Structure 1
Amino acid sequence: MFITITLICFCSWSLAGGCGVEVKSVFITEGDSVTLESALAEIQSDDLIMWRFGAKKEILLATYSRKDNKAETVYGSDGRFRDRLQLDSQTGSLIITNSRISDSGLYTVTSINSDIPLNTFNITVYVCLPLPDIIRDCSSSEQYCSVVCSVVNVSAVSLSWYKGNSVLSSISVSDLSISLSLPLEVEYQDNNTYSCVINNPISNQTTRLDINILCQICPGCCGFTEAVIRLALSALVGVATVAVLVYDISSRRSDQKREQEIREIS
């Protein structure tokens, strides 16, 4: 029994940063600030607080010694956190400002007065979501209007078409930064509400489809309705051309007759 408990404790230490220490998940958007609590109400007089970053706690970020009354931010070996870290001298909590995607990972705070980490956080930083773009696909049939919703350079998101509050179709991408597109066909006289939504675990962006504006006859479409309109326009142009010709011939004949009458009088 003792061996079993020891193994479980060892696994907890490896995964969570310490035996019995829970890893707290934190989700933020790029550019946000976040405060990581040390779990201390106040740092003791003989204590030394250390914040580290990485799965193996390999990057030292900040330290605070109550005995020396000295706080120091190290920014990490590669300087990625430069000018973006603040340490609370009262509690030892760490503040990260202007967060970046590269800030995602494990953060652990330890104390020389404790054999286990005080707190461990797993931060995931998401990019700011763009507004989905809806465009008309001019290969529409006579009955349906085809549209496409798209977003570019996204990762860890889902793109979905909604009819009211119901999902019609959806597509997702994990960590790769790619472009997504999702087609939809609606009837021209459809009065339902359609919207395209991009979302991640903490935010979303929505673009609504306006059928009356977007689903109009578009250049390059060859449907029956457009053919009728083109035929009607061609007929109008033809009638106008004939009218001009008739007027021109009639005007010339009138001028010739007037000239002949003048000659006879002379």
Structure 2
Amino acid sequence: MYRVESVSVIEGDSVTLNSDLTEMKDDDVILWTFGNEETLIAGINKQFDRFTVYDDDLDGRFRDRLKLDNQTGSLTITNFTTEHAGEYKLPFKLKIFNITVYARLPVPVISRNSSQCSSSSSSSCSLVCSAVNVGHVTLSWYKGNSLLSSISVSDLSISLSLPLEVEYQDKNTYSCVLNNPISNQTQHLDITHLCHTCADSVHCCRPTEAVIRLVVSALVGVATVIILVYDIRSRRAEQDQAHIHTSGSIEI
């Protein structure tokens, strides 16, 4: 009866499958196979002093990735990818290694919810934490060490987002965590940096409101220039009329 050992690996890392031997005997024969078809990928015949890796098989997916330990027969696979996930069998010791590969996690991104604009009288700040192109992960908000909310996905290459409402004057510590069964990435929230009212900064408002403000400002500027030009022309016209009137009086 085979003993099954589950192993989790992060994509790009290496893993060593132990044979449970400290040293092979002179007549030991060790074979390593992969997949349901039990394709031979490495073997040792101690009697004939043969140590072989078959890394060109299976369309070369194991090329330059296999290393055999000449003393113990343990097998190391380097630079793991998802195509290397599956069953590795060692019949000599009746062992099966069932390997699952997880993608390396990105750091989640915390941003202001741009669809909302808080007035100066508002007391809450709307935030969202997001992660893109992830699979088999959980995205969570924490307040200190307490879980506030979370969302999980089992699909591959999907985008996740999780909202959070906080008070502007909140002094608690918040963090957004992206994790899978063997690793995690954490982003801490800086409330002071992200949360402003519209009275503090126009950038926290919706794009349409910002554009309206800019247009209004431009129109006010144009109107001011027109008024100044009209005033200057009116004064010149008055001065010209006064000059003509004075000149006419002198001639008489």
- For Structure 1 versus Structure 2, the TM-score category normalised by the shorter chain is 0.7 to 0.9
Aligned residue pair count: 236
1:71 is aligned, of 46, 51, 54, to 51
Q: Deviations over 1:97-149 (max 9, x none)?
A: 111112222222233xxxx51x3322221111112123322333543322222
1:48 is aligned, of 29, 36, 49, to 29
Compare 62-71 and 249-258 and name the one that shifted more.
Answer: 249-258
Verify: 1:198 aligned to 2:178, yes or no.
yes
Question: Partner of 1:6 in structure 2?
Answer: none
1:95 is aligned, of 58, 64, 76, to 76
What's the CA shift for 1:36? 1.2
* 8 Å contact kept, 2:109–2:187: yes
- Distance in 2, matches of 1:194 and 1:247, equals 58
Matches within 5 A, 1:135-174: 135-140=111-116, 141-142=118-119, 143=122, 144-174=124-154
* 8 Å contact kept, 2:115–2:206: no
What's the CA shift for 1:160? 0.9
The answer for unaligned runs of 5 or more in structure 1 is 1-12
- Distance in 2, matches of 1:24 and 1:171, equals 29
Q: 1:44 to 1:183 in 2, by over 3 A?
A: same
Q: 1:175 to 1:238 in 2, by over 3 A?
A: closer
Q: 1:72 to 1:256 in 2, by over 3 A?
A: same
Q: 1:239 to 1:89 in 2, by over 3 A?
A: same
Question: Partner of 1:3 in structure 2?
Answer: none
SS of residue matched to 1:67:
coil
What's the CA shift for 1:262? 7.7
| TM score, norm. by length of structure 2 | 0.78
Question: Partner of 2:110 in structure 1?
Answer: 134
Matches within 5 A, 1:155-234: 155-216=135-196, 217-220=204-207
Q: 1:190 to 1:107 in 2, by over 3 A?
A: same
What value does the CA root-mean-square deviation take over the aligned residues?
A: 3.2
1:248 is aligned, of 232, 238, 248, to 232
Q: Kindly provide the amino acid, as one letter, of the partner of residue 137 in structure 1.
A: N
SS of residue matched to 1:147:
strand
1:81 is aligned, of 53, 62, 86, to 62
Compare 24-33 and 256-265 and name the one that shifted more.
Answer: 256-265
Verify: 1:59 aligned to 2:39, yes or no.
yes
SS of residue matched to 1:212:
helix
| TM score, norm. by length of structure 1 | 0.74
Q: Kindly provide the amino acid, as one letter, of the partner of residue 109 in structure 2.
A: D
- Distance in 1, matches of 2:167 and 2:243, equals 65
Q: Deviations over 1:20-57 (max 9, x none)?
A: x3x33322211111111111111111111011122x46
- Distance in 2, matches of 1:125 and 1:77, equals 18
- Percent sequence identity over aligned pairs: 50
The answer for unaligned runs of 5 or more in structure 2 is 197-203
Q: Kindly provide the amino acid, as one letter, of the partner of residue 130 in structure 2.
A: S
What's the CA shift for 1:242? 8.2
- Distance in 2, matches of 1:246 and 1:187, equals 51
Verify: 1:124 aligned to 2:100, yes or no.
yes
